[in-house]
């Protein structure tokens, strides 16, 4: 994918660039908002990562410039503000997704992936190794054995399966499985991962859910 990163902090920008390049994306970086709109429109980017606090021209203005000409170009907004109001303001202004600093590079990749897959048909049966999730009947089997899950455990598993072989962060899990107010409850994700492991990994050969310290979790059949 070709990604445009508009971020005034050079260090942050260079880490984003390096992180995304490692995953095979082509990344251009701009450090201010002055030419950002023009460049986003003149080159055929797949996705834009936009900091809201920019010198020259504010992120909101850049966002409006882009939206007026390319309404479908996915834009992920970055900001140092995190309150709900600001998140809503960013999304209202036309952003497709929203991330607050500091963020995990793994989370940025996950969000890019999700945005690029947007509109693609979703599989109704997900498989990783001998684990199978039927998302229509909400049924889970491992090695042919049916497994009973509580609603939150099921939602967590489906989210991990849809992102299999990719790290997902706690913030992403909370956003998709719980609601925004759970960010204050420290260990809700750990507890659910734990109970999920007890049901789908315990007693089966290969553990599928792995913890990536400092990043989050990954569901994969690949050996560590």
CA dist 176 and 198 (Å) reads: 22
For another protein, the binding residue among 91, 191, 203, 206 (CB under 8 A) is 191
| Contact of 153 with 173, CB cutoff 8 Å | no
Number of residues that bind another protein (CB under 8 A): 44
Binding pattern for the stretch 92-131 against another protein, x by CB under 8 A and - elsewhere: --------xxxxxxx-------------------------
SS3 44: coil
For another protein, the binding residue among 29, 89, 129, 188 (CB under 8 A) is 188
Query: 87 vs 71, 79, 96, 103, 179, CA distance in Å?
Result: 20, 9, 11, 15, 14
CA dist 123 and 127 (Å) reads: 10
Q: Is 223 in the site for another protein (CB under 8 A)?
A: no
Look at residues 162, 224, 223, 149 and name the one whose alpha carbon lies nearest to residue 193.
149
Task: Choose between 178 and 204: whose C-beta lies nearer to another protein.
Answer: 178
Give the interface segment with another protein, choosing from 40-48, 56-64, 68-76, 212-220 (CB under 8 A). Answer: 212-220
Q: Is 202 in the site for another protein (CB under 8 A)?
A: no
For another protein, the binding residue among 71, 84, 137, 202 (CB under 8 A) is 84
CA dist 100 and 77 (Å) reads: 8
Residues that bind another protein (CB under 8 A): 9, 11-12, 15-16, 18-19, 22, 80-85, 100-106, 150, 152-153, 170, 178-188, 191-192, 194-195, 212-215
């Amino acid at each position: 994918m070709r990604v445009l990163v508009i971020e005034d902090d050079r260090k942050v920008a260079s880490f984003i660039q390096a992180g995304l390049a490692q995953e095979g994306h082509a990344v251009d970086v701009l450090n201010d908002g002055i030419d950002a709109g023009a460049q986003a429109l003149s080159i055929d980017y797949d996705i834009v990562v936009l900091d809201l606090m920019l010198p020259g021209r504010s992120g909101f203005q850049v966002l409006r410039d882009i939206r007026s000409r390319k309404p479908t170009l996915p834009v992920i907004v970055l900001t140092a503000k995190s309150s709900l109001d600001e998140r809503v303001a960013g999304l209202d202004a036309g952003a497709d997704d929203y991330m607050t600093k500091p963020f995990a590079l793994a989370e940025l990749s996950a969000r890019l992936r999700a945005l690029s897959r947007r509109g693609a048909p979703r599989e109704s049966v997900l498989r990783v190794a001998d684990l199978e999730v039927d998302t229509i009947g909400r049924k889970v089997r491992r090695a042919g054995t049916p497994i009973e899950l509580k609603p939150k455990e099921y939602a967590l598993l489906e989210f991990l399966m849809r992102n299999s072989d990719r790290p997902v962060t706690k913030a992403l899990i909370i956003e998709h499985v719980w609601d925004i107010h759970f960010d204050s409850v420290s260990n809700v994700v750990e507890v659910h991962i734990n109970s999920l492991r007890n049901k789908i990994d315990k007693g089966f050969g290969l553990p599928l859910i792995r913890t990536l310290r400092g990043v989050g979790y990954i569901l994969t059949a690949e050996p560590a």
